Structure 1
Amino acid sequence: MNPVRAIVFWGLWVPLSTLVMTSPVEAQFTVDIDIEEPPFQYSETVGENRVTRLMEKLKSKEVELEYTRERGYLESLLAALDIPPSSQTLVFSKTSMQVRHISRRNPRAVYFNDDTYLAWINGSSLVEISTADPLLGAAFYTVDMVPWRANLERQNYDCLACHATSLTQGLPGHTVRSVMPSYDGSFDAQSETFITSDASPFPQRWGGWYVTGIHGEMQHMGNTYVRGGKLDISDNGNRMNLRDDFDTSNYLSPSSDIVALMVLEHQTQMHNTLVRANFFNRQRKYDAEQLDADEQDDAESNAQLQMIASEVVDRLLFREEAKLTDQVRGSVVFAHDFQSRGPFDSQGRSLRNFDLKTRLFQFPCSYLIYSDAFSSLDLELRLEIVRQLQSALTAEPDADDHLSARDRASILEILSETHSDFSRGPAERSVEQPAELPAISGD
């Protein structure tokens, strides 16, 4: 059974069942990807990620999870996965496989760190976890929280039904979805919905989510539901807690932090872009290996590599980020937990420093450039991304460029001190060998 079969165009993904060719321009660069065929073999590939490492520690008794009557293994899982409780965001729309447990009175809590996402629902024994994996893209797991044992298992088809579709650019990935929710959290599948990112206008964000924090005159879709056929946004903003909306006593926090939501939006789409680049590049190289030497076109292959890298660079540099028109203020605990992770340069600067006045970060280059998802990219692809990024940061800005000359210089200085790909010269980087990837074996 193949859960996903798609032709992926650069900048467009459509299922084969709905594919309509309207213009030859769209097909200038196509990649035919089936994640169950070589070089991917998704279901047969053994994961190597933060969750599998925890599974090994649980098996060897190096780590033991503690169960509580109130929240099962939630706190223990967060600690074991190094996920800060302050990252809590709450979604009440029925956009999860556990729809019967989710409502405005019982929202789903989502927690995250740089590579792993955990979702917990009050009253449910099932915890959902997804994480970045060098070969799988996004890998999915569930924890059945019986009191005597935390049964942690990998999931494929049930999760891929939503997490490997057009919602995630056609590949195993993540998404923050903004919908038009009814009072009970359900929504009309035919109504307008948005996949939100740092590029999304504020008025399109967080439909079906709770949002706490200050955002001035900017409006969003959170904290409310459809009344009389319209989303009621008359009094849904600038909330400090959610105690008037539902009983928050069994949650780790009475809030759903606006800054954590903004980070989550960026991070999910950045992860998806890295997965997309990873899969496209692996398919490109695999297809080339199937050709005879005289059939291979090095110029075309290099052009494809540059196109793949270019999308990553654009996302890393927040090329399409929507400008903030008012200051945002969220949880000081989340801000501290997030920013303290660094790394920091000799001036104490970090790519995690928040701005929150006109944009999300003070230095607009994604902190996920330090992540395993980035460092595990094929060496050739990673070097091309670094080359393009250095070129972008040393170029003279255009009048309408989102990065000033000072922004560019600061980002490059920070990277030069904190990232090995930028602190070494091209010759040193070119001889580096990529990290060994986990072997493929049958389930």
Structure 2
Amino acid sequence: MDRSVPPGEIQGELTPPCSKSYAQRALAAALLAEGESTLRNIELCDDTRSAMRCIEALGADVTVVDPHTLKIRGGLAPRGRTLHVGESGLSTRLFTPIAALAGVPLRIEGEGTLLRRPMTMMIAPLRQLGVEVRHRDGFLPFDVCGPLHSATVEVDGSVSSQFITGLLLALPAARGEFTIDVRRAVSTPYIDMTVEAAHRFGAEILHNGYTQFYIEGGQRYRPTDYSIEGDWSAAATLLVAGAVAGEVTLHNVSILSKQADTAVCTALVRAGAELIHEADRITVRRRPLRAFEFDATQCPDLFPPLAALAAACEGESLITGTSRLAHKESDRAETLREEYAKVGIEIDLSTPDVMRIRGGAIRPARVFSHGDHRIAMSMAVSALRSSGAITIEGAEAVAKSYPRFFEDLESLRVN
């Protein structure tokens, strides 16, 4: 689907969708809880739907009470032999160790860009835990058969924290005692989110500075009434839109959230935007923007909105952490360089782990999302300050995390 986004000012208030990261964690915990949990403030983007399919395949009964409320009766009792994770990297790495809890052979299948994303970090730790694993050269599909046995395992955390999340949620429900030694942990705020979600459902996880985790097995997840907070990844894009094209106020987002992408507030302030935050709302207003420096190693999903912010700044901005971008929905660093070149913005990737962006005028062009929801949203934000409309090919990619993104953006338009 093509989507043409014309330039223009924006002003108004929105509530971003719920955090799909918290939603998927909560769905997994609700599966493992015997009894009925209620999840509120949930929105069904593609990734959340993938997690719902997984928990239903693993035995949960899911009832849609209203568009934003689910009731889930938990209980691990697989109804088939296949989990379909769609294009969700988190669902893949989250539900693979949970599937191993079942003690029967299960296959994890994906589609689209996910089939090109490596999953090798799961193989050795699962085998150390006694799981039979078959795979396609480190890529999906995976066949696993548990159960999980007491062990000390070593996990490479340098590519993603998502598999660590899967282990942390699965192991409390296994029998035995477990230690996870993590090498080079990245995206540690996402690990904090996992520990918090497990705690909300009654499971305790201990750790020593993200390098070692201790999990006592045999814990019982408790059914919970859980309201999911707003998504800071979506909020980051909308706040950058306010900073470059007018003013935006967002509701149901707290700067005290454990979500990694709250760090966008630091980048916005460094760039010169006006930022006002209250208990559960935040406002950003456009001001003259200057080049900024920012380390996005722990929050790599911020690269696309930060590219849109840097493109609007006077001078050359420097964002570090590009090594985290190779295995996303696209090679995001190269994709950002390629697509922003089409609209007249130079992105330099010649320095290892560094993205340099020289701000300037945006020209109309036809760009491509590369099937990446965050690229599509980044280009739409930059279109607001273009000299003419930007057409985004593959704009439907936003459904992965924020299906109503374009409608919400249009609702803010004042001219």
Taking structure 1 as the reference length, the TM-score comes to 0.26
Report 1 or 2 for greater relative contact order, CA contacts < 8 Å, sequence distance ≥ 6: 2
More strand by share: 2
Flag the structure with larger Rg.
1
